[in-house]
Structure 1
Amino acid sequence: MSSVGPVTRKGNTKDALIESKDQRWHVRNRVTLVFGSNDVEDLDAYIYKPNGIEFKTIKFHQAKSKAVEEILDNSIDEYYRGHVTEIHTTLSPDKKTVTITDNGIGFPIDKVPQVYTEFRTGSKFKDEETDEKGFLYRTLGQNGLGAAATCLTSDVFVATVKHYNSKQEQTWEFTNGALQTKKTKPKPFKGASGVSVTLTLSKEVYKNNEISEDLLRKRIIDLAYNNPGLTFYFNGEKYQFKKGLFELAQRIDAASAQLVGEEAFIYETENAKGKKVKGKIDFHLSVTLDKKSEEREKFISFVNSTPTFDGGFHHDRVKRIFINTVKEKIERAAKKEKISVVDNDVLTGMTFVMGITMPNPRFESQTKRKLVRDLNLEKGIEHFMGDNLEKFLRKNKEFLELVVERAKSRHRFQELKDASLKGKKAKKQRVEKLLDANERKDRHLCTLFICEGDSAIGGLRSARNKLYQGGIALKGKPMNVMQASINDVINNQEFMDIMASIGLTIGQKADSQNLRYSKIVFLADSDVDGGHINTLLVNFFFTFWPELYEQGAIQFAKAPLFEVITDKETLFVESDDQLEKLKKSGIKIKEIQRNKGLGEMSPEAFKYTLSRDEFTKISVDDMDSAKQTLDICFGKDTNLRKELLLDAESTGAIAAEEAPAKKAVAKGTQKASPKATKTTAKAKPVQKATKKKK
């Protein structure tokens, strides 16, 4: 083993000054080691309002708050022992002096100087001891530092102890951190026993020794919620709650507050002496849910009535079990919808109100703001959540549906982002199928015809006004976008071509100033298939750009079903009824040509169709009703369509030659709202051709 080598030092060396400081000096100069930060900090917490709670960032002085709370905690420990029913607190008008009084049994008056001026003195060191029922003691404090540290960092600290067993009372006054001490003679007392402490914190130690009235009131109300049945008074205000922390949840949101569970977990362990003992952990968990909120979850939690502002093991474990259980419950629905569920889908808008009372809680520091892992606590949490969460979720199937909807919305949002990027790229590329209008400066004057089939484009090419009219052809029926994912839509080349031609992007509103065409006109055959195509296009544009309907951009072009040749001219007729009226009018008809589709129309018929001043405009008076109608007609729930069709008699007869899909839209609109959709057109039923057909 090598030896330590010597060091060559130059000149004289000075020994370190070894000092011995007393408790008073140490706590007054190192108060942060006992009570935490001695500076004002921003803390995300809450304050109580007369009829609710406000979550906000508060100005918080950890050391001052903890110094006062240590005296309150002593009274709560007496309540745990079954000796206290009332705790009175008053704060002076100048906010510098606070008095805390309980009606417990007090303690031997000859122990007062030790309790309030000496560390490692107290009645809370029985970590391994059991009460009369055989359970380990449960207390707020265990270190014997709190009350003494408060006294030693106070300018004035007056303690009056009325000891129940000896029937004697005595008052001790400690000033300037107990540098000076005065006491009264012990004497018998009348009335309630207990302890009363009046203190003024040291300005030298705390810099500003004013106590926040709002935060002291908050602490007292917190204690009242944590200890149902125990009565608190603060400056004459009375606080007592029968249902405890569940009433706190109701105060946050009475409509959504629910009790998840409230029960005790009992376990067996061994103390340091090898003796078998029992421990009891009481759990409480309530939740509230704001369905409209997009904020992350909030926790209000207490361990042995102490607020755990910084969370810790109990937060993490309860949250993880809650999330995993919910995900398991909706796993099948998530697979069906082809979505993944993330933690925020479950937790958004939720507030957890948790209370734990247990033996020997282990905190990260003396400030008790963060709880660390404990094996028995872990078992207790798992047992508690296992017993109560299944029941809670069975009663809250709507919550599970909400989680699925959130996941779907999140996926849809991501798909919209992806679609937006792809749409921007598509805008820059030339659309091969587009028969574009030639106008370059004022595109607002341009109209795009979406035609059924390539054969229709041939007629459109020769009949159109090349400067202002463009066209693009569909192959077959377009996709039902309501039953497709956004990825399906952006991978559909026909839809991408239409969007690129017009200047539309999924996920972005249609800005009329930036569109390449101000009118989008559907031009399909006058048959059942043509009706299907038109309604599917209505669905496509309404799903992604409903504002186009408000702008009057979406329109129909009604192609003539008949071309009637007379001895003087060619007339265009749009329906069988109109043809019958024409026959009875006395006009001499030489020939009637029925057009089965756009491909069979004459150039004159095409020119007549395209040259109208206005087409049939689709407008929407009630967006919600229109959306509801399209959901019925195109959504995944087939039962809604069955109900609609079965209700046909009550909604009015629809002409048999109209397309079934169009028929469903018309009837559905009428059922949802008479003003949901309407069409307008200024075309006469029978029109003359611009020149006689040869």
Structure 2
Amino acid sequence: MTTYNADAIVALEGLEPVRKRPGMYIGGVGSTGLHHLIWEIVDNSVDEAMNGHASEITVTLHQDGHTITVADNGRGIPVDKHAKTKKSALEMVLTILHAGGKFEGQNYKTAGGLHGVGASVVNALSKELTAVVRRDGSQFKMSFQRGLPTSKLQKLKGRVRGSGTSITFSPDPTIFPKTEFDSSIIRARLETASFLHRGVKVTYIDEVAKTKETFLHEQGIVDYLAKVLKERKARPIHDTPFTHSVDDDVRLEVALQWTESTDEHLRSYVNGIPTGSGGTHENGFRSGLNKAVRNYIDTHNLTPRGVKITHEDIREGIVAIVSIFISDPQFQGQTKDRLNNPEVQATVETAVRSEIEQWMNSNRSVADAIVARIIAAARARAASRAASEAVSRKGGSKRTLLPGKLSDCVSAGKMESELFIVEGDSAGGSAKQGRDRNFQAILPLRGKVLNTESATLKKIVDNKEIQDVVASLGCGIGPKMDIAGLRYGRIILLADADSDGHHITTLLLTFFYRHMPQLISDGRLFIAVPPLYRIDIGKETYWAKDDAHRSEILEEHANERSRPEITRFKGLGEMMPKVLWETTLNPATRQLLRVEVDDQLETDRVISDLMGRDASARFRFIMERAADAEVDV
């Protein structure tokens, strides 16, 4: 038995915390985390450009495929010795967490990297890193391995012109399962940076593909909006986009157009960093847009009798780019995916509301066309609600039209309702007992679902399990599908947390993607994440979704006195209804994955390869990824 005393407490020093828990700093060690290393260094160069100290940024993917160089013509990281640490400023920036020049707000008015950990995190997670700095006519060099200096700061011979910083690094293969960078991901991020920082020349050199591209966009996000519209094949209903740019305490840039599309597409950025999870700037934009349009409609008395216009109607078809630059951004986590500054919401809302309202009043013909489009959306949404209510009433009075094994909910036909499509009768029984019947319906399926990718339409329609799914949803299938008839706000796939469960989920995803795609485009389809393991340590219980999560939990509690008791669930049917509710069904504690399609062409190709009749394509896919332990086919 180990003794739990002061000797058991471990204090990680230097960059060791980063290497022990990389996920805390870069979000994980998969592809996203790997490429995040590049963004951290690029963001530092962008910060120089944002503050008027750099005009060019060059990123090079070297011949080996896993070495990157990021160079700029900024001021160059200082190399003089720090009075307190007696180390050069360059060594401090690269070896000490929370060391940087952006805390006091004197050297950078706005910046993406304000935590002072980016460069040091990259250094900690790199097999090798070399920094070269040009300052005051001289050139300096320093090398590192896994965060530790391997050379002193060297002043190279000869005089040099200009200034700037160049960072070359290779990810550590003992940290990352794969260290080869994806050129297309790098290119897309750099092109976006050139749109957001107009006038900055961004060059990407791919030595693997032997290509070189330079991005320079003097019109900034206006050019970006045009590119996004073209990519999405969205037809604008007005020729000239709304644009707004102001440089005050908050520098705000907005470009938007209403299109014929039925969805809203918003891309937001803070100091050049994409905020995929939104935040207060997005909230302010949406609120300002809604108020501006409502004010215009009310002022000109344009609301038809009997039509109720919602926020969703106003924003339907919007394609917008929102970019702000602020001095002290408060991000949610080091990966900076969401902005939390509360004061930003009001600032953005006020600016957007006044500018859009003025623009609409100055362009009456454009504004009236936009309002006509909004009213049409409101009428369509009202018709959809009426149809949904009719289907709900019909389903309530004629239960024989619904599958006998469907355990329906009280609020079927309303947006808050949920349908869980569950693997197997046993799991369906547990889910039925554990659910909240007020808003959660359960449809159990027996065995593996038909592979609809390689089946004829007649075979698909004749399949009993598919019939039950379609009948329960109530909105039809294929070209005749009418989303207005959908009986549930969310459709949630719930299968065992093992390979068989993943296979069933894949089969269902294939069916929905091919035959009911609007469920995905409308954001209605989700995947539940049930636990695979229960881990009891002392009086505490932990739930692990897979083997990696189990290992992580055990490692975190390795020094505890109690011996962990691990239970592996053979299936959802083994879970007590109360446990299934707490871990998987309860909206307050569960985890849901929304099904989204970022790249239509790539998704189509992967489904065709994996699920289609051509076995050779499937064989190639498996062999190409045979070394990847995460592939499960």
Q: TM-score range by the shorter chain?
A: 0.5 to 0.7
Aligned partner of residue 64 in structure 1, secondary structure: helix
Q: What is the alpha-carbon distance in structure 1 between the residues aligned to residue 397 and residue 55 of structure 2?
A: 74
Which whole-Å CA distance do the structure 1 matches of 2:218 and 2:347 have between them?
25
Q: Equivalent residue for 1:180?
A: 150
How many angstroms apart in 2 are the aligned matches of 1:353 and 1:218? 16
2: CA distance, partners of 1:420 / 1:190: 76
Cα deviation for residue 329 of structure 1 reads 3.3
User: Is 2:255 the counterpart of 1:286?
Assistant: yes
Q: Distance in 1 between matches of 2:332 and 2:302?
A: 39
* Structure 1 gap segments, 5+ residues each: 1-10, 40-60, 267-279, 428-506, 509-694
When Rg is computed on C-alpha atoms for both structures, the one with the higher figure is: 1
Match of 2:99 in 1: 121
Counterpart among 322, 326, 341 of residue 309 in structure 2: 341
Alpha-carbon distance between aligned partners in 1 of 2:376 and 2:340, rounded to the nearest angstrom: 35
Aligned counterpart in structure 2 of residue 147 of structure 1, from 119, 127, 149:
119
1:161 aligns with 2:133: yes
Match of 2:45 in 1: 75
Shift of 1:69: 1.1
Task: Give the letter for the 2:381 counterpart.
Answer: R
Q: Measured at CA, do residues 362 and 178 of structure 1 come closer, stay the same or move farther in structure 2, by a change above 3 Å?
A: same
Task: Report how far residue 309 of structure 1 moved.
Answer: 0.9
* Match status 1:18 vs 2:15: no
Q: Is 1:204 aligned to residue 174 of structure 2?
A: yes
Aligned twin of 2:162: 192
Assess, with a 3 A threshold, how the Cα gap between structure 1 residues 418 and 243 changes in structure 2: closer, same or farther. Answer: same
Secondary structure of the 1:63 match is helix
Matches within 5 A, 1:169-568: 169-178=139-148, 180-181=150-151, 184-235=154-205, 236-253=212-229, 256=236, 258-264=240-246, 266=248, 280-291=249-260, 293-295=261-263, 297-331=264-298, 336-375=304-343, 377-394=344-361, 395=363, 396-415=367-386
**Change in 2 beyond 3 A, CA 1:399/1:178:** same
Q: Which moved more, 1:387-396 or 1:148-157?
A: 387-396
Kindly provide the CA deviation profile for residues 516-547 of structure 1, in whole angstroms up to 9, marking residues without a partner as x. xxxxxxxxxxxxxxxxxxxxxxxxxxxxxxxx
Deviation per CA, 1:603-628, whole angstroms, max 9, x where unpaired? xxxxxxxxxxxxxxxxxxxxxxxxxx
Q: Offset at 1:336?
A: 3.5
Structure 2 counterpart SS, 1:181: coil
- Aligned pairs, number: 374
Q: Residue 326 and residue 196 in structure 1: after superposition, are their counterparts in 2 closer, same or farther (change >3 A)? A: same
Deviations 1:143-176 (A, max 9, x none): 211101111110010111111x3x2212111123
SS of equivalent to 2:250: strand
CA distance in 1, matches of 2:157, 2:138: 5
CA RMSD of aligned residues (A): 3.0
Structure 2 partner of 1:108: 78
Equivalent position amino acid for 1:28 in 2:
R
Residue aligned with 2:130, SS: strand
For 2:358 and 2:394, the matched residues in 1 are separated by: 47
Higher strand share: 1
Q: Are the aligned partners of 1:87 and 1:103 in contact in 2 as well (CA < 8 Å)?
A: yes
1:94 maps to 2:94: no
SS in structure 2 at match of 1:215: helix
- Are residues 157 and 393 of structure 1, via their aligned partners in 2, closer, same or farther at CA, if it must alter by over 3 Å? same
Q: Partners in 2 of 1:120 and 1:35 — Cα distance?
A: 15
Alignment check: 8 A CA contact 1:362 1:374 kept: no
Deviation at 1:308, TM superposition (A): 0.5
Residues 1:32 and 2:23 aligned together: yes
Give 1:504's aligned residue: none
For residues 397 and 354 of structure 2, the distance between their equivalents in structure 1, rounded to whole angstroms, comes to 55
Q: Which has the higher contact order (CA 8 A, sep 6+)?
A: 2
Letter in 2 for 1:240: L
2:52 is aligned with 1:85: no
SS at match of 1:337: coil
Q: Structure 1 residues 187 and 252 mapped into 2: Cα distance closer, same or farther (>3 Å)?
A: same
Which is further off, 380-389 or 256-265?
Answer: 256-265
Q: Secondary structure at the match of 2:35?
A: helix
Residue 288 of structure 1: SS of its match in structure 2? strand
Q: How far apart are residue 202 of structure 1 and its match?
A: 0.8
What amino acid sits opposite 1:392 in the alignment? W
Mapped contact 1:162–1:189 kept (Cα < 8 A): no
Residue 255 of structure 2 aligns with an amino acid whose one-letter code is: S
State the 1:338 CA deviation.
0.5
AA aligned opposite 2:221: L
Q: Distance in 1 between matches of 2:4 and 2:372?
A: 75
Residue 422 (structure 1) shift: 9.1
How far 1:412 sits from its partner (Å)?
Answer: 3.4
Spell out, residue by residue over 1:276-311, the C-alpha distance to the aligned partner (whole angstroms, 9 max, x if none).
Answer: xxxx211111113331x223x121111100111110
Q: Secondary structure at the match of 2:94?
A: helix
State whether residues 154 and 201 of structure 1, in contact with CA within 8 Å, keep that contact through their aligned partners in structure 2: yes
- Given that 1:334 and 1:340 are in contact with CA atoms closer than 8 Å, whether structure 2 keeps it comes out as no
CA–CA separation in structure 1 for the residues paired with 2:244 and 2:303? 34
Name the aligned partner's letter for residue 130 of structure 2: V
Q: After superposition, give the CA deviation of every residue in 1:216-259 in whole Å (9 maximum; x if it has no partner).
A: 11111111011111101001201000010111001122663754
Change (3 A) 1:422 1:64: closer
Are the counterparts in 1 of residues 242 and 257 from structure 2 also a CA contact under 8 Å? no
1:126–1:137 Cα contact (<8 Å) kept: no
Q: Deviations over 1:128-157 (max 9, x none)?
A: x4x7xxxx8211222211101111110010
Distance 1:417 1:230, change over 3 A: closer
- Aligned counterparts of 1:425 and 1:141: Cα–Cα separation in 2: 56
Distance 1:12 1:309, change over 3 A: closer
Q: 1:94 to 1:336 in 2, by over 3 A?
A: same
Aligned-residue sequence identity (percent) comes to 22
> What's the CA shift string for 1:553-572, capped at 9, x where partnerless?
xxxxxxxxxxxxxxxxxxxx
Question: Could you tell me how far apart the structure 1 residues matched to 2:155 and 2:50 are?
Answer: 31
2:517 aligns to what? none
> Measured at CA, do residues 13 and 172 of structure 1 come closer, stay the same or move farther in structure 2, by a change above 3 Å?
closer
Q: Which has the higher mean CA deviation after the structures are superposed, 30-39 or 207-216?
A: 30-39
Partners of 1:14 and 1:356 lie apart in 2 by: 50
Specify the code of the residue in structure 2 equivalent to 1:201. Answer: P
Separation in 2, partners of 1:299, 1:78: 27
Residues 425 and 234 of structure 1: is their aligned pair in 2 closer, same or farther, counting only changes over 3 Å? Answer: closer
How far did 1:419 drift? 6.9
> 2: distance between equivalents of 1:367 and 1:426?
51
Any gaps of 5 or more consecutive residues in structure 2? 80-87, 206-211, 399-474, 477-633
Instruction: Name the SS of the counterpart of 1:205 in structure 2.
Output: coil
